[in-house]
Amino acid sequence: MGRLVIISNRAPSVDGSGDSGGLVVALKDALAKDGGLWIGGAPKQTDAPSPSLIFHHRQDFDIGLFELEPKLYRDYYLGYSNSVLWPALHGRVDLIDVQPCYAAAYREVAGRLARLIAETVRDDDLIWVHDYQLIPLAHELKALGVKSRIGFFLHIPLPDLQTFKAIPDWRDLARWLADYDLIGFQTRRDLGHMINIFRHTLRGELRSNGNMGIAGREVALGCFPISINVDGFRRLAAEGAVNTPAPSLPRLIGVDRLDYSKGLPQRLVGYQKFLESHAAFHGKVSLLQIAPPTRDDVDAYKAIRTELEHLAGHINGRFGTVDWTPVQYIHRALPRDELAVLFRLSRVGLVTPLFDGMNLVAKEYVAAQDAADPGVLVLSQFAGAAEEMPEALIVNPHDPQDIAQAISTALEMPLGERIERHDALYSHLQDHDVDHWCAAFLKRLVSVERLDVDGVAR
């Protein structure tokens, strides 16, 4: 077996700084094993992009950076990826902004990237492509004669067939997906949607091994819920909390990129409902919402920021007193270690997206808790994490009454029940951490039998 080659829209930092969260932590060990390579976009785009990958050697793995012209990058990333695919795949077809130059840029980037990758990969390398920005890559690589096994993991949700068909290029997207050897999803929900889309669009047939027969070949599908470094995050929280005073009031916490999929206005409306119906809690609880900016060049993101700031101001104006601010809102990213401590010292974690592939904050909140006096997780039924975390208080994020009720249940939950729920959540997480996720995907990719529909090995 050759190297593991990871491909994503953004490459990790060349010097290893900023490796503390997310994918890099998840994949580092697997990459370090056999001299792995990570190919991803350079942090800055340039008017004179390099015609080849720019290689950097890190101690743990190699990095190959690709550069794009700023206009092409905008149309591919802010345009097609985040103004067409992101809203559509999150079920927000009302927010899709279709411009012909966006789709052209998306294909152009995949085509160019494939040519760069084809120059460097060998047949026995294992290629793992990440996320919606790069769906056409396997198609482009195969057209160039690349023989490596290619897997794809979708970090965000795949919606149902009707919603999927709102994307003008939905047939192409389905075909491009079918060119992978293995497609991984966060949830059974998304996997079911893929099966349905393949059946309808490409006459896919589900086989007894769970793979689909499509256009003369077999595509493997699987559900691989992503996770976090559970032990590492628990330690970060526990060690940081030693020298941090507990907040003066029981705290509710929310931590989300400021994105319309995260249900932030709905969460604040739910909190407002709670305050309306629970006067006894006035002055006795506070909500800390951390919502760092993201993609703020896209109009829909400007709108959600205005809406959230308006609501936070409204709640504070309506309920606040000289001594009490019901909502603390921070529109900035905080360091990861500070977040871990804030999670640990918050009585309730509010994770209420309208639609989310997984939602790592839900897992981080649970991992950060003090097992002897844990807080309570309130979790949207539409977060992928809900499939694995039934011991959370599961809510409908569209129903403010439901959120209000869950907040009050969480705040009043007896210690015994909090411990019981937390124990169950934590022990599941311990057995399903990020290493488990990575190993499960790669094991499946390596073992995919590459058969054509007649059962003949390719």
- The residues assigned a catalytic role are 155, 356
Close Cβ partners of 379 (under 8 Å, ≥ 6 residues apart): 351, 352, 359, 362, 385, 386, 389, 392, 393, 394, 395
The nearer residue to ligand GDG, 210 or 292, going by C-beta atoms, is: 292
Q: What are the strands of the beta sheet with 327-330, ordered from one edge?
A: 327-330, 286-290, 251-255, 348-351, 376-380, 393-395
**Cβ 257 to ligand GDG, closest distance in Å?**
5
Question: What residues have CB less than 8 Å from 263, skipping those under 6 apart?
Answer: 352, 353, 354, 380, 397
Bridging pattern class, strands 376-380 and 4-10: unpaired
Distance in Å, CB of 6 to ligand GDG, minimum: 14
- The token pair at 246 is 């507990």
146-177 burial: b if 16+ Cβ within 10 Å, else e: bebbbbbbbbbbbbebebbbbbebbebbbbbb
Closer residue to ligand GDG (CB): 221 or 358: 358
User: Considering the complex, what minimum distance in angstroms separates the CB of residue 357 from ligand GDG?
Assistant: 3
Which helix (H) or strand (E) segment is 395 a member of? Answer: strand 393-395
Least Cβ distance, residue 22 to ligand GDG (angstroms):
6
CB of residue 360 to ligand GDG, shortest distance in Å: 3
Terminal CA-to-CA distance of the chain, rounded, Å?
A: 17
For ligand GDG, give the closer residue by CB, 286 or 359.
359
Where do contacts with ligand GDG occur on this chain (CB under 6 A)?
21-22, 155-156, 226, 255, 257, 290, 292, 333-336, 339, 356-361, 364
From 119, 138, 227, select the one nearest 180 (Cα to Cα): 138
Least Å from the CB of residue 355 to ligand GDG:
9
Inter-residue contact 367 to 429 (CB < 8 Å): yes
Per-residue tokens: 160: 């149902």
8 A C-beta contact, residue 363 and residue 228: yes
DSSP secondary structure letters along 206-223: E-TTS-EEETTEEEEEEE
Count the neighbouring beta carbons within 10 Å of the beta carbon of residue 338: 13
Q: In this structure, what is the dihedral angle of CA atoms 26, 29, 34, 37, given to the nearest 10 degrees? A: 40
**Residue 22 CB partners (closer than 8 Å, separation 6+):** 360
Least distance CB 368 / ligand GDG (angstroms): 10
Alpha helix stretches (DSSP H) within 148-263: 161-164, 170-178, 188-202, 230-241
**Which lies closer to ligand GDG via its Cβ, residue 308 or residue 360?**
360
Residue 62 C-alpha from the chain's centroid: 24
Q: Measured from the CB atom, is 58 or 257 closer to ligand GDG?
A: 257
Tokens of 407: 């907040």
Q: Is the dihedral of CA 145, 151, 153, 158 positive or negative?
A: positive
